[in-house]
Amino acid sequence: MMSDTRSPSLEIKNLVTSFATANGEFRAVDDVSLDLYPGETLCVVGESGSGKSVMSRSILQIVDEPGRIVSGSILLHPGRSGRRGVIDLAKLKPRGPEIKSIRGREIAMIFQEPMSSLSPVHKIGDQVAESARVHDGLDRRAARARAIELLAKVEIPDPESAVDRYPFEFSGGMRQRAMIGMALACNPDILIADEPTTALDVTIQAEILQLLKTIQKTNGMAILFITHDMGVVAEIADEVAVMRHGRLLERGNVFDVFANPQHEYTRTLLRAAKNAEAPSDRRLAMRQVRPLGEPILRTQSLRKEYQLSPGFFGRGARKLVAVHDADIELRAGENIGIVGESGSGKTTLARCIQRIHSVSSGKILYKLGGSDEQDIAPLSDSQLREVWREMRIVFQDPFGSLNPRMTVGQIIAEPLVNNGLGTSRSRRDRVAELLDLVGLPSSSMERYPHAFSGGQRQRISIARAIAPEPRLIIADEATSALDVSIRTQIMDLLLDLQEKLDLSYLFISHDVGLVRYFCDRMVVMYRGKIVEQGETETICNDPQHAYTQSLLSAVPIADPRLRNTKTRTRYRETA
Amino acid sequence: MLAYILRRTLWSIPFLIGASFLAFVIIQAPPGDYLTTYAAKLEAAGQSVDTARLNSLRDRFGLDEPFIAQYWKWITNILRGDFGMSFEWQQPVADLVGERMLFSIILALSTILFTWAVALPVGVYSAIRKYTAGDYVVTVIGFIGLATPNFLVALTLMYFGVVYLGADVTGLFSPQYATAPWSWAKLLDLLSHLVIPVVIIGMSSTASLIRIMRANLLDELYKPYVTTARAKGLGELKLLLKYPVRLALNPFVSTIGWAFPQIISGSTIVAFVLSLPTADPLMLQALMSQDMYLAGAFILLLCILSIVGMLVSDILLAVVDPRIRYN
């Protein structure tokens, strides 16, 4: 803790927020105490279900039903608004006038998903200046002027016209800027930011974090920043609080916590973050014993175009080139990472390689069954059956990609059934064997997916993918939706399976850290083009292309001492 | 926005042409024509049928010409404002249809207004008070409204009206105003007579719209943008009306398109029971006697109403939802 001469803006003392459920009371926030100081940033770190979001919403009393504050106090000290005396927010009625006068005026909040957190049918300006209209009683005209001023403050280009636009006309980063502008409308003392950069690309994240810091410097507000990312914490926190299962495990100065974590769980989180900054030892060791084989997959000038409008007899037709003449090569037993931000074409490329999508031009040379190379680009669906048995995919969303009405056994056996492999008895044995391979008990096969956590579900997806003895696994953001501490486990599982089953991986990710851990070589994509490819370590240490440089410079490093040592570059494509 | 309206309006022209053609196909579809029905009727009444006279009539009405030629003649005359003659009534179709169609439209519009005025607030209430006694009461009434055939309600109301209130609830006018020229008194009389048919015809669509509104709003109520608005310090009522209700209205607006023609054609039985001077009873009769031009005019007008209804709902949708406007 720093010196005690500082006086806090907000003191949370022994806060308990609980949800009444059919099985009794569930304490989402359990006895949490925190302090927020003006001009400082407190990062609350935790994984899904840690209660960090509910805690932050309790402050404003906007926890969704049936959640409610049971005990504890949230003391708000006087700030810029001129209100006198300390007020206990926990005692206020969630619908009363007192808490309403504090929301948006003294304490403002921004959220994770800038698209769904803004109304799609109201103009940006209307939403941005709304708190000013509510609290400062601005009329329409004054509110518009305030909105323009706020949009300029959050560095949205051309604020005079942006004010009359709708959220869907903005990019994700611009929307989040607008959200921040909205939170600043009444110049609040406290800003609560609930995972504000999680849904954004890493280069945009860097800009948003920078913007928050700049604003904090000028107006001295206290920021409560909720995140799961230790890299982001290292980047912006003054103090850190670690939460798990509703409880506060550890809190302290960011440098102390990173240098000398007290709780085992904090150490786990830090280790997971560090892992993402270096290659996996497991992988390096494996490559020593088993060198990479011959190429099994090569693409030559693979191109995918989408027609946007048909035009008139082919004239004036508009096309979108989703993948621009891609040449990649994957060798047996190799892991290739395809890195890029949203819209870079990385998933489209993978879908084309797997021939889920048709290909506009180019070749996909694949050694089917280990025999001679064959171009699978022109094959029809019926000719692709065998290719599809050998190339399997693991999806990002462990919740959406498993049919909730099938048992785990049925899910895993499905590719076997579809390919007519084995009898029902032999399939049962195979499912048990697969479950064992992915580290789940064979009793799991009778249960339904909802009984499993995100990480376990991803294991089920992997078991399904390896069921028909594939040679190539496409992992499309397969670890992105998982908690940090689970990610490494899943990647290690994939590496173990590679060793046991002779697999090659195409690993698609927006996260350079994961690629660095998992992949031997990486392919960097930007707007449908491969801008750079090569050995992962070579690229990470010495990126050649300006876009790769900007991407790598934006990745936060999980070490607060290295804060501000990296110079960020911003890549702008030249014509 | 203007471009969108213009484009959308232009698009409805080919639909109108298609609809008029289909209308003509439908009235020509049953075997025979007005004259064979007419002859059958005469024979059934024991009168002799003069074949030569029938043939000359057929010639005069152009009933032997090829289909396309008949259609062309019909549609070009309509464009000039001439809907042709009714065989059965021996009067211009336009005179027969005009006022009845007007009453049909008045009835339909009043029904839609009634439906909206009731369904909107009740649906909103039902959603924000989900699983409370009030919600259950509304839900039960709604399901009864959906499940009861409206002619039954019409008969019941008529019975109560006559027996207990001593009031005549049929028709759209009291006898003294039926043939009187338009005046304020006549308008008031019309309005008072509209109440019962509007309630009866609107009942089931009100009930279904309540369900739609409730479901739409429940989808929106817990969206993140509602939390955002709450975190800004907005009052609950203002917040509710400005954000989730506004978004829940979008699917609601698109119901206008189908509600309008549905109400017009769905009110036939009620119109019979309550002897309303609307288009429906006359149309039914025209269809039965194969009174080609009269039936054709009705069907065409109904099609036009549907298309106009769709157009109006599309334009309204673009007004309330910018995402549609910009695509």
Nearest CA in chain B to A98: B233
Per-residue model confidence as pLDDT tens for chain A (575 residues): 444 567 899 999 999 999 988 888 889 999 999 999 999 999 999 988 899 999 999 999 999 888 899 999 999 998 887 777 899 999 999 889 999 999 999 999 999 888 889 999 999 999 999 999 999 999 999 999 999 999 998 989 899 999 999 998 888 888 999 999 999 999 999 999 999 988 888 888 998 999 999 999 999 999 999 999 999 999 999 999 999 999 999 999 999 999 999 999 999 999 888 877 889 988 999 988 888 888 999 999 999 998 877 666 656 677 888 999 999 999 999 999 999 988 889 999 999 999 999 999 999 999 988 788 899 999 998 889 889 999 999 998 888 889 999 999 999 999 999 888 888 899 999 999 999 999 999 888 899 998 888 889 999 999 999 999 999 999 999 888 888 888 888 999 999 999 999 999 999 999 898 999 999 999 999 999 999 999 999 999 999 999 999 999 998 888 899 887 777 777 876 64
Choose the final residue of a domain: A275, A304, A329.
A275
Domain span at residue A348 reads: 281-546
CATH number assigned to the domain comprising residue A246: 3.40.50.300
Closest C-alpha among B258, B253, B249, B251 to residue B308 = B258
Whether residue B72 lies inside any domain: the answer is: no
- State whether A522 and A541 are in the same domain: yes
How many structural domains are present in chain A?
A: 2
- Does residue B267 sit within a domain? yes
Please indicate, yes or no, whether residues A213 and A340 belong to a single structural domain of this protein: no
Interface list for A 334-373 with B (CB within 8 A): none
- In-domain check, residue A154: no
State whether A265 and A303 are in the same domain: no
Same domain, A437 and A366: yes
Does residue B130 belong to the interface with chain A, where contact is any CB pair within 8 Å? no
Q: What angle do CA A130, A142, A111 make, to 5 degrees?
A: 25
**pLDDT for the residue numbered A1:** 44
Residue A309 burial by CB count (10 A; 0-12/13-18/19+): exposed, middle or buried?
exposed
With respect to residue A370, please indicate whether it lies within any of the assigned structural domains.
Answer: yes
Residue A253 lies in a domain: yes
Which positions 267-326 of B are in contact with A (Cβ < 8 Å)? 320-323, 326
Specify if B18 maps to a domain: no
CATH number of the domain enclosing B136: 1.10.3720.10
Q: How many residues does chain B have?
A: 327
The stretches of A82-139 forming alpha helices (DSSP H) are 97-102, 124-128, 130-136
CA distance A486 to chain B (A): 27
CB pair distance less than 8 Å for A113 and B246:
no
Residues A392 and A296 in one domain: yes
Residues A521 and A379 in one domain: yes
Do A352 and A495 reside in the same domain of the chain? yes
Å between B308 CA and nearest CA of chain A: 25
Instruction: Supply the range of the domain harboring residue B202.
Output: 100-289
With respect to residue B310, please indicate whether it lies within any of the assigned structural domains: no
Chain A nearest-CA residue for B317: A121
A360: left (phi over 0), alpha (psi -120 to 50) or beta: alpha
Number of domains in chain B: 1
Asked if pLDDT for residue B210 goes beyond 60, the answer is: yes
Q: Are residues A436 and A529 in the same domain?
A: yes
Is residue A138, in this structure, part of any structural domain at all?
no
Higher pLDDT, A61 or B194: A61
Q: Would the pLDDT of B29 be above 80?
A: no
Asked whether the predicted pLDDT for residue B50 surpasses 90, the reply is no
Q: Does A383 map to a domain?
A: yes
Residue A175 domain-assigned (yes or no)? no
A153 within domain boundaries? no
Contact call for A60 and B234, based on CB within 8 A: no
Q: Are residues A240 and A335 in the same domain?
A: no
Residue among A195, A200, A278 at smallest CA distance from A559:
A278
Q: What is the pLDDT of residue A5?
A: 66
Q: Which of A210, A242, A275 is the last residue of a domain?
A: A275
Choose among B222, B224, B235: nearest Cβ to A111. B224
Chain A positions touching B227 (Cβ under 8 A) are 57, 62, 64, 111, 117
Q: Looking at the structure, do residues A310 and A253 belong to the same domain, yes or no? A: no
- Of A275, A301, A316, the position where a domain reaches its end is A275
Is residue B208 in some structural domain?
Answer: yes
Residue A364 pLDDT? 94
> Would residue B234 count as lying in a domain?
yes
Distance in angstroms (rounded) separating the CA atoms of residues A117 and B225 = 4
Dihedral sign computed on CA atoms, order B29, B32, B35, B38: negative
Whether residues A314 and A254 share a domain: the answer is: no
Q: Which of A57, A63, A117, A136 to mutate to test the interface with B (most CBs of B within 10 A)?
A: A117
Q: Mean pLDDT, to the nearest integer, of B299-312?
A: 85
For position A525, what pLDDT does the model report?
Answer: 95
In a domain, B34, yes or no: no
Residues of chain B positioned with their CB less than 8 A from the CB of A57:
227
- Domain shared by A250 and A383, yes or no: no
**Any domain includes A326:** yes
Distance of CA A228 to the CA centre of its chain: 9
Inter-chain CB proximity B233 and A113 less than 8 Å: no
Check if A102 contacts B (Cβ < 8 Å). Answer: yes
At residue A68, φ and ψ (nearest 5 deg) are -155, 155
Report chain A residues whose CB lies below 8 A from the CB of B235. Answer: 100
CA atoms of A176 and B318, how far apart (whole Å): 26
**DSSP three-state, residue A405:** coil
Whether B51 is covered by a domain: the verdict is no
Q: What is the pLDDT of residue A3?
A: 47
ipTM for this model: 0.81
pLDDT over threshold 70, residue B232:
yes
